[in-house]
Structure 1
Amino acid sequence: MQQSKHHKGKARSEYNARFANPDMRRRLQSMYRIDQPNTAFEDLLKRLDEAGARAEEEASQAVMENKQLAGPPPSVGGRPAEGIQEELHMAHEPLGIPAPSSTANHIEWPKVVANDAWREARNALLVKEKDLMKRGDALAAERRRLPMVEVPTDYRFLTADGETDLIGLFAGRRQLIVYRFFYAPDVENWPDGACSGCSMFADSITHHEHLAGRDVTLVFASAAPQDRINTYKRRMGWSTPWVTLPDDRFSRDFDVEEQFGINVFVRDGDRAFRTYFMNGRGVEAVGPTFTLLDLTPLGRQEGWQNVPPGRPQGAPYAWWRLHDHYGSAA
């Protein structure tokens, strides 16, 4: 099994949740370098596993009876058996663990002060926050001045409509952002779910139509086949384009073979260029429209930005629309 680095952030919950499988336990312990399990949490999950097994047996029996007898769908505990069957496909996915604050006996909250003192402290911090914002703008301006490298365009991607190449991923736009999304047989939650961290990123992502309104295409890329991807997209309620990688060439060439990451490309006719890459810590702060636009060479395309000569810019705010109302602009 390929031990992808992106798993490590969820090490303890993943390990604890799957303690009942000795092979998985040894594999995860080696992968995550965990010495001791959480005994109390193991006991809780053992009880949940036993209850889940009983529910699955009851639901399976009810479905069998339904196949033998005509009539309304059976139920288990007042719930449709088929609905329980649909939920059981997620039974192997670890349940959430409580936030530390929810089980803490005592929390040391900030000092209580008068309103004037609070405003004074808040305003002092605001100065630093605005400074950080301006330094972020300066960093984005520096990013827009990075050089770029030409890349091959004959990488293969599978879509719901067939096969395409790197130029095809642009969907006619000039800029492309590809997020390497880990969804594969060697990744947690398979087959009905994908990497928890990648999925949380996808939950926080902007509506891709806003990016399209600024001449940017956003695409997820995974090893999973299209039928799995489309089923998972429906389950999660996502609409971002998502392609299948039929081999590891793209992942290997663009530094996302072992870990999630974001690659940015631009297109000049039928030529493609890599302009930016990021992975690891920092990706969690990306997702809203403007954070993604700030990764691209054209940025937000608003006149206030610090950009090199020759980069088209327009009026700020004027381009904003409801995500379903960009029309031909997207």
Structure 2
Amino acid sequence: MTETLSPADELAALKPATWPNESAEYRKARTAQLDLLDEQRRHIQRVAARRRALPPGGEVPQDYRFEGADGSVTLSRMFGDHDTLIIYCMMYGPERKAGCPMCSAMLDAWDGEARHIQKRAALAVVAGSPIARILDYARDRGWTGLQFYSDPSGDFWADYNHDRDADDPAYVVFRRDPDGTLRHFYSAEGGTEIADPGQDPHNAPDMNPLWVLRDTTPEGRGAEWYPRLDD
């Protein structure tokens, strides 16, 4: 049975907030925006529900081997006690002098959330540089909650980030079936080819709280502003 939801505009008008010295024009526009925000919340939930209902993804072609802080580890071992594994491919290949500023800004935020995320799913960050170099960079950034790995063969990167030598980001989720089979569950897809005019391609909702917060400001996220490592 499908639950009937109240129209968003009716919900928005139930208990409008008021702020000091606001005009009637501001309140009318703000209440109208609340209508859109309620629809946005519902749409996010619809997208998430459709994602959870995806058919089984492809079986992982091999038990990829990575290098971590404690030595060699396979993809299956990275699940730990969980049946879900989230992997973020950070742009920090051997040719880079430092990690990608955009990746680093996001991981600055994720590092604090990692202990909460890892209560429900395993979380790993993979990069193309040697593991010692990755760990040095993590220490320089002050990251203590995230788990870092190197993909020395490039096999994982080639299969799940399009190109063995690419220095591109990727967000990949894997699922372990009850029989132990590892499957690809979800990856962020799309790039510049799906970006709207004047906008950078980004996930929706955005996984970097930097942009979520900036979207609530008068200036917005800006078309030409990016984080820098020395800020």
TM-score (normalizing by structure 1): 0.49
Once the two structures are superposed, residues 181-232 of structure 1 have per-residue CA deviations (whole angstroms, 9 ceiling, x without a partner) of 1112323xx1xx2111211221232521111222x01111011122211111
- C-alpha contact (below 8 Å) 1:153/1:272 kept by paired residues: no
Distance 1:133 1:249, change over 3 A: same
Match status 1:227 vs 2:132? yes
Verify: 1:154 aligned to 2:63, yes or no: yes
The equivalent residue for 1:122 is: 30
Amino acid at match of 1:134: R
Query: Which residue of 262, 272, 281 corresponds with 2:182?
Result: 272
Aligned to 1:202: 107
What does residue 178 of structure 1 align with? 87
What are the superposed Cα offsets for residues 21-66 of structure 1, whole Å, 9 maximum, x if unpaired?
xxxxxxxxxxxxxxxxxxxxxxxxxxxxxxxxxxxxxxxxxxxxxx
Q: How far apart, CA to CA, are the structure 2 residues paired with 1:264 and 1:277?
A: 6
Partners of 1:275 and 1:173 lie apart in 2 by: 14
Instruction: Map residues 9-88 of structure 1 onto 2, 5 A cutoff.
Output: none
Q: Deviating runs (4+, > 6 A) in structure 1?
A: none
May I ask how many residue pairs the two structures share in their alignment? 172
Residue 249 (structure 1) shift = 0.9
Separation in structure 2 between the aligned mates of residue 168 and residue 152 of structure 1, nearest angstrom: 15
SS class of match (2:59): strand
Could you tell me which amino acid in structure 2 is paired with residue 141 of structure 1? A
Q: Select the residue among 159, 170, 194 that pairs with 1:253.
A: 159
Unaligned runs of 5+ in 2: 1-20, 192-200, 213-231
Q: Quote the offset at 1:114 in angstroms.
A: 5.0
* 1:286 maps to which of 202, 207, 213: 207
Asked if structure 2 preserves the Cα contact closer than 8 Å seen for 1:218 and 1:240, the reply is: yes
Rounded Cα–Cα distance in structure 1 between residues aligned with 2:69 and 2:129: 12
Equivalent residues of 1:153, 1:165 under 8 A apart: no
Structure 1 vs Structure 2 CA RMSD: 2.1
Percent same amino acid among aligned pairs? 30
Aligned pairs (5 A) from 1:289-308 = none
2: CA distance, partners of 1:162 / 1:120: 60
SS of 2:188's equivalent in the other structure is: strand
Structure showing the higher helix proportion among its residues? 1
Q: Would you say the 8 A contact 1:220–1:241 is kept in 2?
A: yes
SS at match of 1:149: coil
Correspondence for 1:314: none
Q: How far apart, in 2, do the equivalents of 1:151 and 1:226 lie?
A: 23
Deviation at residue 256 of structure 1 after TM alignment: 4.5
Given that 1:160 and 1:226 are in contact with CA atoms closer than 8 Å, whether structure 2 keeps it comes out as yes
Q: CA deviation at 1:116?
A: 2.2
CA–CA distance in structure 1, aligned partners of residues 114 and 62 of structure 2:
23
* C-alpha distance in 2 between matches for 1:226 and 1:252: 18
Alpha-carbon separation, structure 2, partners of 1:267 and 1:143: 16
Q: 1-side partners of 2:140 and 2:29: how far apart?
A: 45
Normalised to the residue count of structure 2, the TM-score between the two structures is: 0.69
| Partner residue of 2:51 out of 143, 160, 164 | 143
Tell me which structure has the larger Cα radius of gyration. 1
